[in-house]
Amino acid sequence: MRVSIIGQAAFGEAVLKRLIEDGVEIVAASAPEPREGGRPDPLWVAAEEAGLTPIDTAALKSEDGLAAWRAAGAELGVMAFVTEMLPEEALTAPEHGTIQYHPSLLPLHRGSSAMNWPIIFGRTETGLSIFWPDKGMDTGPVLLQKTCEIGPDDTLGSLYFERLFPMGVDALAEAVALVDSGEAPRTEQDHALSTYEPPCDEEHARIPWHLPAQQVYDLIRGCNPQPGAWTTRRGERLGVFDCRLSLRDEPGMPGAVLRIEEDGI
């Protein structure tokens, strides 16, 4: 099957290499174009190493970029970590359309921070979806889904790199094979069950010390490493990443510093 891939970062690179290992013919690749003085995107580099001439993802919104994308003659498009909305013309250019990876069990947790919020909310399970994108925000029909546990001490980093990253690479490879075999489903999402959360940014990452310890712990976990939970100490901003949950009774007001020890505050 002739496949075009759109993505970025280590995940996009890993998906490209996995598809090549599986014998998939990659006919086009798109990633953020390297900026002068900046580090080139891993997918861009991997595409060049594979003999491709990558197209800047932003260019897919232009007539010239779309023309080049169509000219590749892909049978299927694969979106591997795409953080912006693309025009419908780019999605429908391949013969069978385009599939996309999303790190949640759609229709739950639509949006760009789908991994942060389940941890912040104290969930114990999440997963990933491979779906057929449409004009909406993560609203298209689902091709396949995989579930995984959120451990009590998982962070955003551990959940992604230990589970959702490798599972996602495998799931996209499986999805491509299903499309190639003609057995790929298109299961409509139940939009009545959908949830959407905003991007988890610095505003959401400020630690609300008035909440119960478990909720504070979940917020810190869900923001580690990005965007990074934070608080203030004597007017200075203090980032909080790794922490331990203690449920023992302690004197003092919420947020007060009780002890400063060698391994933490």
Structure confidence at residue 140 as a pLDDT band (50, 70, 90): very high
If you average pLDDT over residues 142-153, what whole number do you get?
Answer: 99
Residue 261 binned pLDDT confidence (cut-offs 50, 70, 90): confident
Task: Transcribe 100-149 into DSSP letters.
Answer: EEESS-TTTTBSTTTTHHHHHTT-SEEEEEEE---SSSS-SPEEEEEEEE
pLDDT of residue 81: 95
Which among 182, 216, 179 is positioned nearest to 100, based on CA atoms?
Answer: 179
- The residue-averaged pLDDT of 42-60 equals 98
Alpha carbon 206 to its chain centroid, in Å, reads: 22
Place of tokens 């491509």: 176
Q: CA 9 from chain center: how many Å?
A: 11
Q: Is the pLDDT of residue 76 over 90?
A: yes
| Residue 109 token pair | 């947790």
* Cβ-contact 130, 99 below 8 angstroms: yes
Average pLDDT, the chain: 95
Is residue 231 classed exposed, middle or buried when 0-12, 13-18 and 19+ CB atoms within 10 A define those classes? middle
Residue-range domains of the chain with CATH:
2-193 (3.40.50.170)
Q: pLDDT value at position 247?
A: 73
pLDDT for 12 equals: 99
CA 265 to the chain's CA centroid:
32
φ and ψ at 129, to 5 degrees?
Answer: -130, 140
Shortest CA distance to 151 belongs to which of 119, 175, 174?
A: 119
Q: How confident is residue 256, by pLDDT bands cut at 50, 70 and 90?
A: low
